[in-house]
Structure 1
Amino acid sequence: MASMTVSGTHVVEVGPRDGLQNEKKVLDVDTRVALITRAVDAGLKRIETVSFVNPKRVPQMAGAEEVMAALPRRDDVNYIGLVLNERGLDRALEAGVDEVNVVVVCTDEFSMRNQGCDVAEGLARWERIAERSKAAGVFTSATLAVSFGCPFSGEVTADTVIDIVDRVAQSGPDEIAIADTIGVGVPAQVRALHEGLVRVAPDVRRRWHFHNTRNTGYANALTAFDLGECALDSSIGGFGGCPFAPAATGNIATEDLRYQLERSGVDTGIDGLAVVDAATWLSAELDSPVQALLGKAGPFPG
C-alpha cells in the first residue's frame, strides 16, 4: 500500500468512480484501468478508482476487485475505494485499497434512496467502518453527501451538516469531505461550512466535492482554496453525476480546476494537456461529450 503523503492543496481525481457511475455506457475493466493509468501518467496522486457497491444497483462499478488487481502500483500514488457498508469494507480491504472513503448522507430521504438507511444508521455504519479501517492501518475519510442541498428534502442548513461533522469527527477520520452532490451550492455556503469544520474538527484534513450543475462549482472550489489548505475533487473531462439524484450533472473538470489552481500559484504536479488528451479519449469511449472547457479554449499562455 502507498502511504498518504500528499499534503497541501491538491486535486483528487474521482473520474474513474464518480465520473463513470452515472454514464449510460458501462466501461469494461480494461478500459477503466486504462483511464486510471492515464490519470497516473498525467501526475495525479490520489485517485478514487472504484466503488464497492452492489453491481446490480450501479453496474458501472462492477468488477472493482478486478480493476484494483490490474492497476499500476506506485509508492507515490494512492488508490481510493468508496464503501457504503461493512461488506463493502471487507471487499475494499481485501482488494488492497490505499484509502477508504465512506459516504454519510445528511438527509434521511436521500440516505434511504442511496444507502437504504436513515442518517442515524448511516452514522452508526460510519463508526463501525472507521474503527475497522483504522485498525487495518488504512487512511480513512468520510464524505458528507448532499451537504449543500437535497433533491428530495430541499435546503440543508449548515447547522445540520456541522452537527453530522461533529458526530463523524468523534471516530477520528483522517479527512472529512463536504460534498455538493447535486450542484446547488454557492460560495456563501462554502464559507459557512468551512467555519463550522474549523470549529468542530480543527485537526482533520478538509476535502471538498463540487459539481458544476448550476455553473457554481468552480467558484465554490476557489472559495474553498482561498479559505485554506484542502483537497479538491474533480473528474477528467467533467464527467460525472449521482444515479440517485435527478439532474445531477458533471463534476468540476480536472483540467479546468488544474488551470485555475496553477494560475493561482499552486504547483499541482498535473500535466494539463495530458488530462485534456485523456478527456478526449474518454469521451470517445463513453460516446458522451466532454464538459470541460480547457480543451476547447486551450491553455494560457499558449
Structure 2
Amino acid sequence: MPCTNPRTRLSILRTALPITLIAALSAGIFQQAGLFEPSLRENGAYEPQTVVIPPRTYKYRSDGEFLKGTVAVDPPMKTVAAESLTITKYQVTAAEYANCVMDGACAAADASSTAAADIPVTGVSFDDAVAYARWLSDKTGDYWTLPTDEQLAQAAGKGFPDDALGLDPDNRNPAIRWLADYEREARERSKRDPVPRPSGGFGENEYGLADFGGNVWEWTSTCHRRVHLYQNGSVRASEAICGVYVTVAGHRSPVSSFIRDPKGGGCSVGTPPDNLGFRLVKSTKWYAPLLKKLREAGRLT
C-alpha cells in the first residue's frame, strides 16, 4: 500500500497553507470592498441582442504596420486559439446611443449622422464608444467593452479582411508596393456605398453576426502599432501607438481616438472609412464584476 513520506506531507502542508490563507484573506477583502457583489440591473430593456461565437482556432493576420528596414511588408499570419465570445449581434443603433445621450453619459453624435432609430449610430469617436460601453455596463450590470481586433476577427469569421498585398517581402523596390496600394485603394473606392442601412441590411455571417464588413467601420480597443523586423523576419522592436486605434470593415484603418468623421482626417494610411460606429463585447468571466468595479474606480479604461 503506497504511503507518503511524513516530510513530504509536511512540505505540502507548508506550501498549501499559506496559499489557502492568502486566497481566503483576498476573498474576504474583495467581499468587504463589494468587488464581487453583483451590480443591480436597472432595466432589461437596455440589454442588447447578442450572439455567442463558439471557441475556435483561426488564422489571423497581425494588425499594425510592419517594416523590414525602411520597407513596408505584409504583417505575418498567426494562429489564434480563442475561447467563446459574447458580442452584440448588431452595431449599436442611433436609438440605443440616444438613450445614453439623454442620460447625460454620452456626447451627441455628429449632426450629420442623424438617422432613423434602427440605423447604426455613426459620427462617433473611440472616446464616445468607450463612454457608451460604461453607460451600458451601469444599466445592465454586465461588463461591456469594445472588442479587440482579434475578437472582431473571431466573430467576423470568413468576412474578416486580409489586407496583405502578397508582395515579395525581400523586394526593395518601393514603386511596386506603391502601385499595389494604389490599385487596392482604387478597387475599394469603386465599391463605396457610404449611406448607412438599417440594422441587418448587410446580412449575417456564419455565426449570426450582422452587418460586419458593410459601410460602417467598427472601433476596436486595439492600439495601432509599428513593428520593426530583422531581415530574417523576427521582431526587432514594436511600438504601440495608443491614441490611434484600429477600425475594421472592408479593410483595417487606424484612426485617432477623437475622430468622428473619418473623411475629414485622422486616418494614418489607406482609404478612409465611410463611417465610424461600433459594437460591444460582454464579458462572461467569473471576475467580470471585479473588472467593472475597477473601471468604475478609474483603474481600467
Q: Which has the larger radius of gyration?
A: 2
The structure with the greater share of residues assigned to helix is 1
Q: What TM-score do the two structures reach when normalised by structure 1?
A: 0.24
Higher-strand-fraction structure: 2
| Higher relative contact order, structure no. (Cα contacts within 8 Å, ≥ 6 residues apart) | 2
- TM-score normalised by length of structure 2: 0.24
